[in-house]
Amino acid sequence: MRLLYGFEEEFAGDIPDDLPLSVYSHASQCVVSLASFRGGIRVFACTGVFIKCHGNTGRILTSASLVRTSDDANEIDYSLEIKVCLPNNHSIKGTLQHYNLDCNVAVVSIRDFYCRHIAEYKAEVQVRPYMELVVAIGRVFKTGKFMATNGVVTRRRSKLYTDLKVSTCKITKAGIGGPLISFHGNFIGMNFFDTEQTPYLPADRILMLLREFDEKGSVADDATNHPNPNRWPLPKPIWHYPSSVVRYYETRRRKQ
């Protein structure tokens, strides 16, 4: 049997053969995996990307689901221990620096590591729906495996949150918080997980959040407080026989 919806589940697609070597090399060096622990027990695992390095301090963009009290809760658990698995497979302690629960975005900082590569994001980068290939990037925490799968952006909007757009890249829960990039290496957005589609938060919205974070200094703080916050539910892990897993992906592909 195979575990579906687990944090160690790899992407079904392989790294695209036509992805430029320079883009692959850059992405593989700036994408990390993260996990949160409570009392030594892992609570959540996802992907992140370096967005800034200054001296021996690095900042990592990822999903705020990493530090929530539960998958769909609107609270942060400050007691969680954060570990970051670096591209060299070394593990290092991370510290929550900023978060926005409404957009499900967090910034984690690490010390004593210098990253030579960061995400190349520009607010003016636009990708034409159905016209240009894009790549969703992820990394598995337990093994450190680098994953990538391609698709196109669509004109659809996610049901999770109105600011989210949608791509046809097929990711797993391990890819939550990972970057969506163009074949030129430009950062397009941050991926989330849904069973019916792959939503992502566009780069221009992320840049707005990062500017708000910088204005607040280095204290973790939610940039917005809404009486009816967005919810980010995730499916629970389930065991499937391989044949049923194949049928699931084939049915999902036909629906899309």
Pair of tokens at residue 55: 């001296």
* DSSP E strands, the chain: 2-4, 31-38, 41-54, 57-63, 81-85, 91-100, 105-111, 120-121, 133-139, 146-157, 165-167, 179-182, 186-191, 198-202, 238-240
Res 256: pLDDT? 45
Closest CA to 185 of 70, 65, 29, 76: 29
CA dihedral 126, 127, 128, 133 (to 10 degrees): 170
Which residue has 């609570």 as its token pair? 43
pTM: 0.89
Amino acid symbol at 225: N
Helices (H) and strands (E) in the chain, counts: 3, 15
Q: Identify the sign of the CA torsion 170, 105, 83, 179.
A: positive
From first to last of its 256 residues, the chain has per-residue pLDDT tens of 778 899 999 998 788 889 999 999 999 999 999 999 999 999 999 999 999 888 888 999 999 999 999 877 889 999 999 999 999 999 999 999 999 999 999 999 999 888 888 888 765 567 888 888 999 999 999 999 999 999 999 999 888 788 899 999 999 999 999 999 999 999 999 999 998 889 999 999 999 999 999 887 766 665 455 566 788 889 998 887 766 555 555 555 554 4
Digit-coded pLDDT (tens) for 132-153: 899 999 999 999 999 999 999 9
d(CA 46, CA 34): 5
Q: For 2-224+238-255, CATH number?
A: 2.40.10.120
